[in-house]
Chains A and B, each alone.
Chain A
Amino acid sequence: MLDKYAANPGDRDNLPESARDAEENRCALGGAEAMQGMPNNPDCADASLPAEPGETLITLSCRINGQPVTAEVPPSRRLLTVLREEFGLTGTKRSCELGRCGACMVLIDGRPVNSCLTMAYQCEGAGITTIEGLSGGGLHPVQQAFLEEGGFQCGYCTPGMVISVVALLSENPKPAPEEVEEALSGNLCRCTGYGGIMRAVNKAIEKGVG
């Protein structure tokens, strides 16, 4: 999809402006125009995941954003790649690909995991929620809090950050500051200095999200 314009798919400067805009509309905060989890999204047919020579495929059956889906994928392909390239869910961001930045965070059966560390076979039968899945009925209250409190600048870390906050508050609606710190310790932000993010989390806590 859009990544094909970028030498490094995470490098937005390499995107043509129209593509950057489209990416923004679709993905910043996973907002209203975010694509829903469409199985084998026809827009993404050019980015399906064919087997390389010698590779076997499995039929991955799981639920993505509430919808049952199946896909023929190599078993140890990263979930990140499957989500972005097979299902067109590019709100899940790609950055370090090492589990260190949290940009690729999704919920698997309600728990946050780094989709760059997770392989397709590990998701069989699982329920996966991406940033797009949070905003089916309008912005999720955590997204709203990020908007109101300026919890982002470039927005690249934001989908992962929001997913981690949603996971935290659904398990612990009134976390102590050190619990918030621990829950977000795997999400790095290069822009905000975390002040706006912490304000957004506190606002979501005050509003009783979770």
Chain B
Amino acid sequence: MEALRDEPLWTPAVQRPRSLHEAWELKRTFGRDGVYVAGSTLLRTQWEAGTVSMPKSLIDLRGIEDLADIDEDGGGLSIGALADLSRCRRSAALGHMAPAVQEAVRCIAAPAVRNLATIGGNIASGYGDCLPALLVCDAELAVFDGKFLSRRRVEEWLADRWSGMHPQEDILTGIWLAPPAGPAGSRRIEIFRKVGRREAFTPSLVTVAIGCFIDSEGRLSGVKIAAGGGSGRPQRLDIAEAVLEGASIGKEQLASVFEAVVTQFETYGDPFATVEYKKKTAGNLIVAELWKALEGSAGKGDH
């Protein structure tokens, strides 16, 4: 008697390109029948949920050299798309340059999943939890289009990704983070928060990220606020940002920020949480985190 298996009876073939060009050509040849794969953790989730069907072929990106490096480079930080989330979680350089991104990574899945999952796969999905954090850090993404490698701002890349216009063959090769530069005497504040249906190891309902500088008089500048969660589109919330830019935070500003977030945040309802619940959660998280950051910085000078 055969052992019973829940797996589909056949599994995809695997192509193992050694260069970006080779991978890109394979994807162009296979079209929809070939899918890039890095850690395969999101793909597996999608196959099991039935939201995406198993392709005929997987195009494994892990054999391409240098795509998993994390390097300090010209004052900034470059992270290869194939760097696994555990390495990102441990990278002192990432913690220093972009603490919100590192906190987002810490909140993704559990250590064993993070040993397989890559930061590139998280971003390439278009909704991974790293994205709101990357939006407030002014990160750029390196993309290979078959001929050239170019750098694009995360917002621009997301706009294309969500419009469905981006070429399916594009390969994300890495992330570039410039050192945050604020006005003299100011201090950097960077926050990432995730809310799920339970405390740990849970998919996100709502994620928020905040990045800004605060000067010795409590005035904010370079304010960036973003929200996402679940499989919703990560987005900047520029109305709330405008309320805070150049302002010193008080109760009135926070009330306006809450209103702005609830008005602007576009999300979706699901069987567990309505759109209104998610909007309110985002508003409350952002206001609460700003309040905590302000209390924490009361009496502190520059960095």
Contact = CB atoms under 8 A, between A and B. Distances in A.
Contact of B12 (A76, A111, A114): A76
B10 A113 contact: no
Given A9-B3, A99-B44, A74 B113 contact: no
B4 A6 contact: yes
Given A9-B3, A186-B113, A99 B45 contact: yes
B3 A85 contact: yes
A18 to B, nearest CB: 16
B109 interface: yes
Interface in B1-53: 1-7, 9-14, 16, 40-41, 44-45, 48
Contacts of B86: 111
B112 A113 contact: yes
A112 B112 contact: yes
A185 B10 contact: no
Contacts of B200: 181, 185
B10 A55 contact: yes
B112 A1 contact: no
A34 B48 CA distance: 31
Contact of A99 (B3, B10, B113): B113
B108 to A, nearest CB: 11
Closest 6 CB pairs of A and B: A186-B110, A76-B11, A75-B14, A52-B10, A112-B112, A185-B110
Interface residues of A, number: 46
A54, A102, A117: most-surrounded residue (chain B CB, <10 A): A117
Which of the listed residues B10, B45, B58 has the most CB atoms from chain A within 10 Å of its own CB?
Answer: B10
A205 B111 CA distance: 19
B60 interface: yes
Contact of A7 (B4, B13, B109, B115): B4
B201 interface: yes
B44 A111 contact: no
Q: Is the interface of A mostly helix, strand, loop or mixed?
A: loop
A4 B2 contact: yes
A56 interface: yes
Given A4-B1, A4-B4, A114-B116, A76 B111 contact: no
Contacts of A99: 41, 44-45, 109, 112-113
Interface of B: 1-7, 9-14, 16, 40-41, 44-45, 48, 58, 60, 62, 86, 106, 109-113, 115-116, 200-201
A76 B115 contact: no
A62 B65 CA distance: 21
Contacts of A100: 201
Contacts of B41: 99, 117
A30 to B, nearest CB: 18
Contact of A122 (B5, B7, B40, B109): B40
A81 B110 contact: no
Contacts of A4: 1-4
B121 to A, nearest CB: 12
Given A3-B3, A99-B41, A118-B116, A186 B11 contact: no
A185 B45 contact: no
Contacts of A54: 10
B40 A117 contact: yes
B293 to A, nearest CB: 22
Residue from A52, A77, A186 with most neighbouring chain B CB atoms (10 Å): A186
Nearest to A7: B4
